[in-house]
Chains A and B, each alone.
Chain A
Amino acid sequence: MSGLAHYLEDEGLSTVVVALVREHVVKISPPRALWVPFEMGRPFATPNNIGLQQRVLKAALSLLDAPGTEPVLQDFTEEAGNLHDSNWIFPALLSNESVIAEAKSILPSWHKAQTRIGKTTVGVSGLPPETVVEFIDRYFSSDPMPNPKGMALVSRARFAIDDIKLIYFESAFANGGQPSSHQLNEWFWKQTLAGKMILDFQEAARIGDNENLRLISGSLVPPERTYEYT
């Protein structure tokens, strides 16, 4: 982001960077930067916390009022708070007969969650949500599903895996609650057959002959812990 700030300032725009990785803005030193103490992926803090999001945005914009032309780096000190929801459980009993059966059994929760949230972020793969799990499940089989026109097969697989995670994570909000990302990751990677399928896919991609698949294998599973389906 600091690199973009450099070019935009050079074009005549005043910029302020909201930064999650303090080390990076210290190195590049853009004209104005606000470091925020939130988890990665959440530069504006907590979903639906309008007050906190406004305070972050106002703090960032206030750096435009700093005198002089020396770079300004300010820390935003308000924390997002405890994000763990101890009452949260996944809102439905999922089939454990097969990953395909599990995926089918999660769809009612996914539809319910969409109604509750008012939107879905699923769709980046372009595959129908009803078949996206099967696409990955059959990927290395002797009978893979056809790849629709418009996207290379490896890219389709990567985005299909994104969509699978999005379907499951969205479904987790069907009955409300505020599970943390840690809770969601623990549940998805350790307790769902879809999570296990992706872990197996990652390993097959990592050791396989397809160089493009090997390249994406590192971007399928979060790095902060080793997951094992239990």
Chain B
Amino acid sequence: MVRLADIPEPERSYMAGLECTPYAHKPFTKAVAPALRHVAIVSSAGLIVRGQRPMLSNDVGYRAIGADVEDSDILCSHVSINFDRSGFQQDINVMLPRDRLNELEAEGSIGKAANTHYAFMGATHPDQLEDKAREVGKEMLSLGVNTVVLAPV
């Protein structure tokens, strides 16, 4: 697999030109100080926990991935073939850097790494994800999370 810039036409232009409608309303939440940051990761890689139903194309759901879920039980069900999975196969942190986040907590760069991270199907149009995104947002807030790293594929 390659970077977007290395994909030949017409696929490159298709991917680069995918509909991305700017939002008229621009919400902005001021960040708290680093020591107070409680950080979760949200991936768009269609990650699931082994045994769960895989995400389908245009899936509007999400999966929660708790700290007790072993790396060996996290699978990728993303519909797209446009990205490499061999990095993820060797090291989950290539897509979901939860070990790196735990290390930042240990060294004091952030206040806390979340116990639960989340995954969506990135191929789904964002408008269709609004309800579940807001649901995940409320859940994270209820768990004390105030900061989110969004990780694509």
Contact = CB atoms under 8 A, between A and B. Distances in A.
Interface of A: 1-21, 23-24, 27-29, 31, 37-48, 50, 53-54, 56-58, 60-61, 64-65, 69, 71, 117-121, 123-124, 150-151, 155, 158-159, 162, 165-166, 169-170, 172-173, 179, 181-182, 184-185, 215, 219-225
Interface string B130-153: 100110111011000111111111
Interface residues on B, range: 35 or more
Contacts of B3: 20, 37-40
A225 B149 CA distance: 32
Contacts of A40: 1-4, 82-84, 153
B151 A14 contact: no
A68 B79 CA distance: 38
Interface centre among B15, B27, B103 (most CB of A within 10 A): B27
Contact of A15 (B44, B50, B148): B148
A221 B71 CA distance: 26
Contacts, number: 270
6 contacts: A4-B44, A16-B148, A47-B87, A54-B100, A121-B88, A166-B85
B85 A54 contact: no
Contact of B101 (A8, A10, A57, A179): A57
Contacts of B48: 124
A1 B94 contact: no
Given A4-B120, A13-B147, A119 B70 contact: yes
Contact of A8 (B77, B84, B122, B148): B148
A159 B85 CA distance: 14
Contact of A48 (B54, B56, B91, B149): B91
Contacts of A8: 42, 133, 136-137, 140, 148, 150
B72 A1 contact: no
Interface centre among A6, A37, A158, A223 (most CB of B within 10 A): A223
Contact of A39 (B1, B15, B28, B100): B1
Interface in B8-35: 8, 11, 15-18, 20-23, 25-32, 34
B58 to A, nearest CB: 11
